Amino acid sequence: MAQQVQGVVAPGKNEPVRVETIVVPDPGPGEAVVKVQACGVCHTDLHYKQGGINDEFPFLLGHEAAGVVESVGAGVTEVAPGDFVILNWRAVCGNCRACLRGRPQYCFDTHNAKQKMTLTDGTELSPALGIGAFAEKTLVAAGQCTKVDPSVSPAVAGLLGCGVMAGIGAAINTGQVGRGDSVAVIGCGGVGDAAIVGARLAGAARIIAVDVDDRKLETAKSMGATHTVNSRSTEAVAAIRELTGGFGADVVIEAVGRPETYQQAFYARDLAGTVVLVGVPTPEMKLELPLLDVFGRGGSLKSSWYGDCLPSRDFPMLVDLHQQGRIDLGAFVTETIGLGDVEKAFARMHEGDVLRSVVVF
């Protein structure tokens, strides 16, 4: 029987989000219903609400979540009721051209639930990133459930479902940061700080945090930044070069998603260095660079979707490292809030007051 639960819906462009009763169908073949225990508020949820991703309103927001599988549909073997899981937005298909070439982290045909969750009047909801977990329960494809050590706190585990994985993966997977490298991270919110944690884990010798907010730079230091630059008062490219022997960093990670910060990243890296764009731009943004500089500076310019992660490989590994005390993912949870507080959490994110607000159930 379909169930009715409470969930946070974005009804239209820039309209305040509201808690609504939503209808969650029983899982069909290949699907699972998950009782959500925690779901972080990511900047991408705000992008959805602002119409920055697409116009498929109403959205069921929330996508950085952990919970317990309640029921599974026909043919599901990878998870069973009672399993503690992190929800992922990369349930790989195994059949697309990326998967067939052995690069499933780029899968172009990831799975989501086939059935739709709806409002009580039957209006179909678009779940954010195919998840929709600001809800007591949500319907996903079984492959979106990644089992991890159940002794970890759900509020911490959920963050690996998006922003923290995106940041750590931008450093260790996309940027391929290695021992002794110099790394600069522009934008030290949840994603940028996670990139700092990833760079440190990979053995970077120098980690330069850049932000426009001194509070963010303080937190970045506690996450592992060795140097900080406030780019409101200091020219970021010159400062990063000065901190790297005049040359620029080996890897620069852009975690804001704006042309001007991308340009800083482009010029703040050493010759033959790597730029990783993990911040998400909006449709009207344009980038202009001298082509000769693109050629002459060499190296690689990469985008990082979800930290190029493979959930089945990376989530359990990062939970284990956290449980062993080798990374501190708890530091990303600034506050825990209720389902009715998401709009307030967006405002606090906008003010720069939080790394992550996490809805707990």
Ligand X SMILES: NC(=O)c1ccc[n+]([C@@H]2O[C@H](COP(=O)([O-])OP(=O)(O)OC[C@H]3O[C@@H](n4cnc5c(N)ncnc54)[C@H](O)[C@@H]3O)[C@@H](O)[C@H]2O)c1
**Smallest distance from ligand X to CB 326, Å:** 22
| Per CB under 6 A, 331 contacts ligand X | no
| Per CB under 5 A, 354 contacts Zn ion | no
| Per CB under 6 A, 212 contacts ligand X | yes
Residue selected from 186, 229, 239, 268 as contacting ligand X according to rule CB under 6 A: 186
Give the list of residues 6+ apart from residue 157 with CB closer than 8 angstroms, or none: 38, 66, 84, 86, 148, 319
What is the phi/psi pair of residue 64, to 5°?
-110, 80
Cα distance between residue 157 and residue 96, in whole Å: 29
Cα distance between residue 233 and residue 317, in whole Å: 39
Say if residues 180 and 168 touch (Cβ distance below 8 Å): no
Residue selected from 7, 27, 279, 311 as contacting ligand X according to rule CB under 6 A: 279
Strand ranges for the chain from DSSP E: 3-10, 18-24, 31-40, 59-60, 64-72, 84-87, 118-119, 126-127, 137-141, 145-147, 182-186, 206-211, 227-230, 249-254, 269-277, 300-303, 333-337, 356-360
What is the phi/psi pair of residue 84, to 5°?
-90, 125
| Per CB under 5 A, 93 contacts Zn ion | yes
**Smallest distance from Zn ion to CB 328, Å:** 20
Cα distance between residue 315 and residue 83, in whole Å: 15
190 contact, one of Zn ion, ligand X, none, CB 5-8 Å limit per kind: ligand X
| Per CB under 6 A, 63 contacts ligand X | no
Residue selected from 23, 24, 107, 168 as contacting Zn ion according to rule CB under 5 A: 107
| Per CB under 6 A, 166 contacts ligand X | yes
What is the phi/psi pair of residue 82, to 5°?
100, -15
**Near ligand X by CB under 6 A, which window of 53-61, 108-116, 210-218, 339-347?**
210-218
| Per CB under 5 A, 128 contacts Zn ion | no
Interaction residues for ligand X, span 240-259 (CB under 6 A): 255-258
Say if residues 39 and 358 touch (Cβ distance below 8 Å): yes
| Per CB under 6 A, 221 contacts ligand X | no
| Per CB under 6 A, 171 contacts ligand X | no
**Smallest distance from ligand X to CB 281, Å:** 8
| Per CB under 6 A, 267 contacts ligand X | no
| Per CB under 6 A, 161 contacts ligand X | no
18 contact, one of Zn ion, ligand X, none, CB 5-8 Å limit per kind: none
58 contact, one of Zn ion, ligand X, none, CB 5-8 Å limit per kind: none
Q: Closest CB to ligand X among 10 and 278?
A: 278
**Near ligand X by CB under 6 A, which window of 12-20, 66-74, 183-191, 242-250?**
183-191
DSSP 53: S
Would the CA dihedral through 67, 68, 72, 78 be positive or negative? positive
**Near ligand X by CB under 6 A, which window of 30-38, 78-86, 135-143, 187-195?**
187-195
The tokens for 234 are 């200091």
The C-alpha angle 13, 127, 304, rounded to 5 degrees, equals 90
**Near ligand X by CB under 6 A, which window of 99-107, 132-140, 221-229, 302-310?**
302-310
Nearest to 102 by CA among 298, 299, 310: 310
Helix (H, G, I), strand (E, B) or coil at 67: strand
**Smallest distance from Zn ion to CB 50, Å:** 14
Q: Closest CB to Zn ion among 68 and 93?
A: 93
Q: Scanning the structure block, which residue is given the tokens 């499933």?
A: 104
Q: Closest CB to ligand X among 5 and 304?
A: 304
Q: Which residues bind ligand X (CB under 6 A)?
A: 42-44, 47, 162-163, 166, 186-192, 210-213, 216, 231, 255-258, 261, 278-280, 304-306, 349, 352
For binding to Zn ion (CB under 5 A), which residues are involved? 42, 44, 93, 96, 99, 107, 109, 162-163
